């Protein structure tokens, strides 16, 4: 299995290439430069692996919640690359990704939504999958579901 994954929902721009269990990745604090940084990061990962887009099994992108502009960039890049290389696309929740990284069976995942608010969701692991018990939502930090 070979896929290219990327996320631009936060101030970080990240990209990873998964090839048969081996993962190579890049990340940079992008601020507002995601549109300049993302495609070169993706092409660098592919070049280092000796793969072309058409040799991948699919594309995965962070579908939010997060920055509106960042989400548009990720979705647009995913659609454009997928159309050109005839690849399937899978959108993954940014909050669910945080839950997976936490390494626990129940996780309250939160991201800064600015303006004194957070994006939040409560997840419960069920086997290899996650079930969302509350959210996702945007709210003041004090109103996050427990």
pLDDT tens for each residue of 16-61: 999 999 999 999 999 999 999 999 999 999 999 999 999 999 999 9
Q: Are 22 and 84 in contact (CB under 8 A)?
A: no
pLDDT at 135: 87
Helix (H, G, I), strand (E, B) or coil at 11: coil
Residue 144 per-residue DSSP state: -
Q: Which of 111, 57, 115, 124 lies closest to 85, judged by CA?
A: 57
What CA–CA distance (Å, rounded) separates 11 from 3?
Answer: 23
pLDDT at 71: 95
65 pLDDT tier (thresholds 50, 70, 90):
very high
**95 Cβ neighbours under 8 A, 6+ residues apart:** 65, 109, 110, 111, 119, 120, 121, 123, 135, 136
Q: Over the stretch 81-130, which tens digit does the pLDDT of each residue have?
A: 999 999 999 999 999 999 999 989 999 999 999 999 999 999 999 999 99
Question: pTM, whole model, 2 decimals?
Answer: 0.90
pLDDT at 19: 98
106 — phi, psi (to 5°)? -130, 130
pLDDT at 145: 76
Interstrand relation of 2-7 and 58-62 (parallel, antiparallel or unpaired):
parallel
In angstroms, what CA-CA distances link 3 with 11, 15, 89?
Answer: 23, 11, 10
């Amino acid at each position: 299995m070979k896929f290219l994954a990327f996320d631009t929902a936060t101030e970080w721009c990240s990209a990873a290439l998964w090839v048969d269990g081996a993962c190579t990745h890049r990340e940079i604090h992008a601020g507002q430069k995601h549109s300049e940084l993302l495609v070169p990061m993706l092409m660098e990962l592919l070049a280092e692996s000796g793969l072309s887009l058409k040799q991948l099994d699919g594309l995965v992108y962070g579908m939010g919640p997060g920055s509106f502009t960042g989400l548009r960039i990720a979705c647009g890049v995913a659609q454009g690359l997928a159309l050109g290389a005839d690849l399937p696309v899978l959108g993954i929740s940014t909050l669910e990704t945080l839950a997976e990284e936490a390494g626990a069976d129940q996780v309250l995942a939160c991201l800064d939504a600015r303006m004194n608010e957070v994006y939040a969701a409560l997840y419960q692991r069920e086997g290899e999958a996650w079930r969302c018990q509350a959210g996702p939502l945007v709210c003041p930090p004090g109103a996050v579901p427990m």
